[in-house]
Amino acid sequence: MESQSTKRLEPMTIPESKRQRTLSHSSNEDTITQTSDMDMSDSEETRLGEDLEHGLIGYLDSPRISKILGECRILVIGAGGLGCEILKNLALTGFKHLDVIDMDTIDLSNLNRQFLFRKADIGQSKAIVAAKFVMSRVPGVEVIPYYGKIQDKDEDYYRQFQLVICGLDSVEARRWINAKLVNMVEEGDMESWKPLIDGGTEGFKGQTRVILPTMSSCYECSLDMFNQPTTFPICTIANTPRLPEHCVEWASVLEWPRVWNDKKYDTDNPEDIHWIYTQALKRADEFNITGVTYSLTQGVVKNIIPAIASTNAIIAASCCNEAFKLVTAIANPLNNYMMYTGNEGIYTYTFEHQKKAECPVCGSESMIAELSPTMTIEELIEWLKDKPETQLKKPSLRTATTSIYMQAPKALEKATRPNLSKQLGSLVEEGEYITITDSALPVSLQLRIKWKIA
Burial of 160 (0-12, 13-18, 19+ CB in 10 A): middle
Name the β-bridge partners of 441: 438
**DSSP 8-state secondary structure symbol assigned to residue 402:** -
Cα–Cα separations (whole angstroms), residue 94 to 66, 89, 139, 324: 7, 9, 10, 10
Dist CA 283 CA 256 (whole Å): 13
Strand runs labelled E in 295-344: 337-341
Dist CA 213 CA 336 (whole Å): 12
Query: 417 Cβ partners below 8 Å, 6+ apart?
Result: 405
Give the burial string for 189-205 (b: 16+ CB within 10 Å, else e): eeebbbbbbbbbbeebb
Cα–Cα separations (whole angstroms), residue 306 to 123, 303, 377: 21, 10, 37
Name the active-site residue from 72, 84, 221, 235.
235
Annotated catalytic residue 235: yes
* Residues labelled as active-site residues: 235
